[in-house]
Amino acid sequence: MEKKSAIAALASLAHESRLDIFRRLVEVGPAGEAAGTLAERLRLPAATLSFHLSQLRQAGLVASRREGRSIIYSADFEAMNALIGYLTENCCRGKEDCFGTACSPALATEPA
């Protein structure tokens, strides 16, 4: 992943609603979820959800497809993994012993 793409992805996820949307799409997996269902679950007005989904799509983190009358959104897991890889690589700066330190994503915990 290029630095510019990583910055765009992180900037997109820096908004609480967009992070909530992305988390939900990761939870539901590759099958994705209809925009209407997302709006209901996250209690977001349709116009607000549409705006945030557009931002996530521009950052390359979300894909969409039409199924009948619905638009189904899904997380782009390849892009998510590329971002995680970019962050890990740049955190460790090539150090082989980096994993197992505070830099290791496996040690990350939810904030209290």
Q: How far apart are CA 43 and CA 112, in angstroms?
A: 24
pLDDT single digits (tens) 19-76: 999 999 999 999 999 999 999 999 999 999 999 999 999 999 999 999 999 999 999 9
Angle at which helix 16-28 crosses helix 3-13, to 10 degrees, equals 100
CA atoms within 13 A on the CB side of 36: 5
Q: How far apart are CA 51 and CA 53, in angstroms?
A: 6
pLDDT score of 99? 57
Domain 3-96 CATH (choose: 1.20.1630.10, 1.10.10.10, 3.40.50.300, 1.10.8.60): 1.10.10.10
More confident residue, 106 or 37: 37
> Out of 24-28, 79-83, 84-88, which region has the weakest mean confidence (pLDDT)?
84-88
The model's pTM is 0.81
Write the CB contacts of 112 (distance below 8 Å, at least 6 apart in sequence).
Answer: none
> Out of 33-37, 59-63, 77-81, 83-87, which region has the weakest mean confidence (pLDDT)?
83-87
**In angstroms, what CA-CA distances link 77 with 38, 44, 98?**
18, 24, 24
